[in-house]
Amino acid sequence: MSATLLKCTDLCVRFAVKDGCVHAVENLTFEIHRGECVGIVGESGSGKTQSVLAIMGLLPRNGTSTGNVVYKGQSILNASRQVMNKIRGESMCMIFQDAMAGLTPFMQIGDQLCEVLIEHQGLNRADARDRAIEVLEIVQFPQPKRRFSMYPHELSGGMRQRIMIALALLCRPQLIFADEPTTALDITIQAQILEFMKGLQKHIETSIVMITHDLGVAANLCDRIIVMYAGRMVESGSVKDIFFRPQHPYTQALLRATPRLDADPDEDIPLIPGRPPNLQELPVGCAFTERCDQAQKRCMAERPELSQKFDDHLAACFVEQTK
């Protein structure tokens, strides 16, 4: 069995808007191996969500994707709805940032869980109910039997997110895309859910792609990290190297902007000065130049390609770091 589960090559996502074209994702290339957890980090608007939606075949209507995505040996980018439905129902799933968005508001949670099992796995109603309750227990959803006929709005944010995770787990997925799964939750529940996902990844051989703007979350959970800026991958490497030997000034700036656990909570978190570029008019050179504290003349005129800095570590920057 190949260790590569998903291989994404030169993925580009464009959106047609009334005054032009948004270049949301440009030439994104990466692999996900079986059983590993990869973090995709970057500020809001850097193309994290749209990359995953393109892979899953769920882009908004005005979006188009090009490139090549191979999942378990099968080319799936822009595959038919029938093919994608099968893959999404059986082995690849997504946990959304906003649990409400992934749940049907007027349907009891138990029915939502059972429906997936009946439709995709051909279970009968009684077996579906047993399996759904079992999965709710796995995600530590309190009193699943009693709450089976509740509606999403009757549950707290943390409980709704657990339902989302349960929904994702029903198909015993091989690949989970978790898109900022805990951002909307308070810090204690966030920790519980992340802890749970960590356990999950260890116990069943699931690969997780964790999308987050929080490097702390990625550090906790991931084996490797991909850093995105303005629709491109600007750096990728092991968690350790990203944290201790970041090669891209943007990654360095993100790390400085990440609050430390031992930081004084009243102290202001330093933000990265400036704003990302307009994705409709990307500069010819490096998109980070304007905000970069190490920019050279060349960076304005020419775009740095990703290159190997050491081992498996890639970065798209002309500046050679000393460590």
Ligand X SMILES: Nc1ncnc2c1ncn2[C@@H]1O[C@H](COP(=O)(O)OP(=O)(O)O)[C@@H](O)[C@H]1O
Give contact residues for ligand X (rule: CB under 6 A). 15, 17, 22, 24, 42, 44-50, 60, 62-63, 279
Residue 170 corresponds to which amino acid?
L
Contact 170, 117 (CB under 8 A): yes
Q: Which does 102 bind (CB under 5 to 8 A by kind): Mg ion, ligand X, none?
A: none
Pick one of Mg ion, ligand X, none as the site partner of residue 62 (Cβ within 5 to 8 A by kind): ligand X
Q: Long-range pairs for 257-262 at CB < 8 Å and ≥24 separation?
A: 258/214, 258/215, 258/216, 259/216, 261/216
CB of 123 or CB of 176, closer to ligand X: 176
Distance (Å, whole) CA 38 – CA 233 = 13
Tell me which of 46, 49, 51, 289 binds Mg ion, using CB under 5 A: 49
Partner in contact with 288, chosen from Mg ion, ligand X, none, beta carbon below 5 to 8 Å by kind = none
How far is residue 319's CA from residue 5's CA, in Å, rounded to a whole number? 33
Q: Say how many residues touch Mg ion, by CB under 5 A.
A: 1
Rg (CA), the chain: 20
In the chain, DSSP finds a helix count (H) and a strand count (E) of 12, 12
Contact stretch for Mg ion (CB under 5 A) within 48-56, 68-76, 189-197, 251-259: 48-56
190 binds Mg ion (CB under 5 A): no
- Nearest residue to Mg ion, by Cβ distance, number only: 49
| Four-CA torsion 118, 157, 180, 216, nearest 10 degrees | -130
Binding segment for Mg ion among 42-50, 232-240, 284-292, 312-320 (CB under 5 A)?
42-50
Q: CB-wise, 49 or 251, nearer to Mg ion?
A: 49
Among ligand X, Mg ion, none, residue 35 binds (CB under 5-8 Å by kind): none
Q: Which residues bind Mg ion (CB under 5 A)?
A: 49
